[in-house]
Amino acid sequence: MDALAVVRKRFTVIDYEQMAATGIISDGDRVELIEGEIVEMAALGPQHAACVDRLTQRLPFLVQGRAIVRVQNPIQLGEHSQPQPDVTLLQPRDDFYAGGHPEPEDVLLLIEVSESSLAYDRDVKLPLYARAGIAEVWLVALLPQVVEVYRAPSEYGFGEKRTLRRGDTLSPLHLPDAVLRVDEMLGERR
């Protein structure tokens, strides 16, 4: 008896956007397209939401028109991936990307906040971002209370990783004068 082969359909960004346009995927669905698979995103806990709020309050002040601050909106990573990072700093564009989602060369900094999805963010999303050539990713890990900074992307991952703790400061590679304190991102000690 022959074994039944399992065949998976790998969706493209075009397929994914058509599903959204026709209502198969609704605005309320917390999903993203990762390497051809529609993946349900982790629920936003209160600590996660507060961290994103702190970043979106502070970053526009620091970048003052030198970057567009985008919150939980898609970026285009090739034909089969359209993740929705928590925060991105983008190259300024007059149309604010109305003509199409930002691509890797548009991203100055990508920030993922992790409350319950740390392993997924490290094992799935970081390699995806590195292969796409995203220059810099910050992973704000709320439970160990650290910020991991990833730079030097390649098809094999990020070549550079630094772990910062409370009391440390950091700034985006492309906006070195936009200095943030780790404590500003993590909020009050829990």
pLDDT, mean of residues 140-149 = 96
Backbone angles phi, psi at 13, to 5 degrees: -60, -40
Beta-carbon-side half-sphere exposure of residue 182 (alpha carbons within 13 Å): 20
Q: Is residue 12 part of a domain?
A: no
Question: What is residue 188's predicted lDDT score, i.e. its pLDDT?
Answer: 78
Q: Is residue 169 part of a domain?
A: yes
User: Is the separation of the CB atoms in 119 and 142 below 8 Å?
Assistant: no
Q: Is residue 136 part of a domain?
A: yes
CATH code: domain of residue 123: 3.90.1570.10
This model's pTM is above 0.75: yes
pLDDT in tens, 75-94: 999 999 999 999 999 999 99
The domain containing residue 112 runs over which residues? Answer: 43-186
pLDDT, mean of residues 36-57 = 91
Q: Is residue 13 part of a domain?
A: no
Tally the domains of the chain: 1
Q: Is residue 38 part of a domain?
A: no
Question: What is residue 43's predicted lDDT score, i.e. its pLDDT?
Answer: 81
Closest CA to 82 of 61, 100, 94, 69: 100
As a whole number of angstroms, the longest Cα–Cα distance in the chain is: 66
Closest CA to 131 of 103, 162, 158: 158
